[in-house]
Amino acid sequence: MKLFRYIYIVLFTLFSNLALAQGYSTEMPPEPEELLNSPISLDDICSEVKIVEWRDSGAIGSKPTTQNIARLKSYCKETMDAFAGFVIGRGYKITKHGKLHTSVCLLPDTTSPRDLNDTYYRFSTRDKSYDEHGHVYEILGYFQRYYNHVYVINTVPTRYKVVFMHELFHAASYYYGIYAQHTQPSQEELLAQDFTASLGYGR
């Protein structure tokens, strides 16, 4: 595994230089040309959750249609309606009040440059998990605390609602001070899994 990671670092350096030469940004937040002309604000309790990037994959389920936006609004509302009761019930204290503020990027889940599983350019600095063969595990969603951005697969229908709600939980956990109360890093991921399971959507 150490040898693989050394090779990965060498390859990453090479690909990073190539990325710069080809114009691919290695910055995680969306580039100006990737941003929506107007962010999409979700409703009511989620009105400060802004979709700032939405790149579809061609299929209707990945497009910013009225129906898909309505779905995201309902997923966010369900998440935030349940959030406080869940974390308080687990013994945590909410240390900040008001509406959740976070930015959402909906991306294709491929490894192409700037997509969700691009580990050479856009997400080269993201924490990664490896399988027994040294391959990076594919992800469907990710919350980056430093930039306060949720990055999630662009397929909106019900099959992936659990991914969106899981990552929103991480954003809310950080925003409302729950994350800071953990004594072990693993607690955050387990808590998010327990949250979606408590809503009946699995882990």
List per-residue pLDDT tens for the chain, 203 residues long: 554 454 444 444 444 445 444 678 999 999 999 999 999 999 999 999 999 999 999 999 999 999 999 999 999 999 999 999 999 999 999 999 999 999 999 999 999 999 999 999 999 999 888 888 888 989 999 999 999 999 999 999 888 999 999 999 999 999 999 999 999 989 999 999 999 999 999 88
- Measured in degrees and rounded to the nearest 5, phi and psi for residue 75 equal -65, -40
pLDDT of residue 22: 64
Rounded to an integer, what is the distance from CA 155 to the centroid of its chain? 13
Residue whose tokens read 């950080």: 174
Angle ∠(107,20,118) on CA atoms, nearest 5 = 30
pLDDT of residue 1: 52
Rg (CA), the chain: 17
pTM to 2 decimals? 0.87
Strand order in the sheet with 141-144: 40-41, 49-54, 102-107, 149-153, 141-144
pLDDT of residue 86: 98
Residue whose tokens read 């974390």: 87
What gap in Å lies between CA 79 and CA 76, rounded to an integer?
Answer: 5
Residue whose tokens read 């490894």: 111
Closest-CA residue to 173 (of 148, 197, 198): 148
Q: 26-198: which CATH topology?
A: Glutaredoxin (3.40.30)
